[in-house]
Amino acid sequence: MRWLALLLLIVACSREPQATAVACADPVAGCRLPDGVMLRFSQRPSAMRAFDLEVVAPADAQVRAGFRMRDMEMGMNRYRLLPDAGKWRAHVMLPDCVQGRSDWILRLEAGKRVYEVPIAAG
């Protein structure tokens, strides 16, 4: 019985936080996410071309970003953003999809909040 309780506790603690789905029509122009978080790309994302990801979030928040495709394994595409002049930044490069898809989902973690933002790469 104790093992079952321990197993349930481990499974409950290992779940990823529930994400809030957010639309962002133009990440280059910038997008306001809930709770005052701002997201901006330095250029339109494209496979195998680096771009900068910039996030304005609370100063005490750890900020991480990951890119994936729905129903397709794309490897580890996770980034820890570093604080820089009141913003969080990362230099990002998306891999090339062998099927030619460009429908990415940005999973942005800012403190205890998690957002999922669909992104169309060029």
- Report if pTM > 0.85: no
Where do the structural domains in the chain lie, given as residue ranges? 19-120
pLDDT at 5 over 70: no
pLDDT in tens, 13-43: 555 678 999 999 999 999 999 989 999 999 9
CATH top-level class for 19-120? mainly beta
53-105 tens-digit pLDDT: 999 998 778 899 999 998 888 888 899 999 988 899 999 999 988 888 889 99
Beta-sheet pairing, 20-21 with 113-120: parallel
Q: How far apart are CA 75 and CA 73, in angstroms?
A: 6
User: What is the largest distance, in Å, between two alpha-carbon atoms of the chain?
Assistant: 55
